[in-house]
Amino acid sequence: MSLYFYPHPLLTKPTVNVDETNRHEILSFIDEARALLSALPSALAIAANQCGRSHRMFITAPGKTTLPEIVVNPKWSYGPYGMELDKEGCLSFPGHNLDIRRYKNVLLDYFDEQGNHSIDEFNGLDARIIQHECEHLDGKTFLQNTDRRTKYRIIEAMRKRK
């Protein structure tokens, strides 16, 4: 399994929900994604489409967040504490850290690896990770949250990187 970098087309396509018909594919993906995350020491999480899969799920690095390690079919809504601006990086945009405005807390509706349903509230960095990874799953990147000048500068730098 390899990591996909912008402008790979899979990064701009919405993912599909996991269901019983593709459950067996998910289990092998989880093992591969865990191995990839462990090889990336600064990584906090990775969305399936960043690894070439179209499943609506993301994996978090164990011990680096309070998020569940496997988040399947996530949906989130923002909480009452407003927004904050903070630096954010992305594995698909190596070397680019941007100031991104995100909600401080979110409510996450999701399934775990065994198919158990949960709804939990997350704050701070965990809320930021959820929003970032769910954007990936929606076929968006953190470039949508920045000004046009920054967006085009990074797009050009990523194209030259190829």
| pLDDT digit string (tens) for the chain, length 162 residues | 889 999 999 999 999 999 877 777 788 889 889 999 999 989 999 999 999 999 999 999 999 999 999 999 999 999 999 999 999 999 999 999 999 999 999 999 999 988 899 999 999 999 999 999 999 999 999 999 999 999 999 999 999 886
Catalytic residues: 133
The answer to whether residues 80 and 123 touch, using CB atoms and an 8 Å cutoff, is: no
- Please name the helix (run of DSSP H) or strand (run of DSSP E) that holds residue 160, with its range, or none: helix 148-161
Quote the tokens at residue 88.
């954010």
pLDDT of 162 reads: 66
| pLDDT recorded at residue 78 | 96
Cα separation of the two ends of the chain: 19
Structure tokens at 17: 């929900």
Supply the pLDDT for residue 24. 75
Q: What is the pTM of this model?
A: 0.95
Residues with Cβ within 8 Å of 43's Cβ and at least 6 positions away in sequence, in order, are: 37, 61, 91
User: Is the domain covering 9-161 a CATH 2.60.120.260 domain?
Assistant: no
The three-class DSSP label of residue 85 is: strand
Q: What is the pLDDT of residue 28?
A: 82
Helix %, strand %, coil % for the chain, to 5?
35, 25, 35
Q: Which two tokens stand for residue 37?
A: 């995350």
How many CB atoms neighbour CB 23 within 10 A? 11
Per-residue pLDDT at 27: 82
In the chain, where the domains are located:
9-161
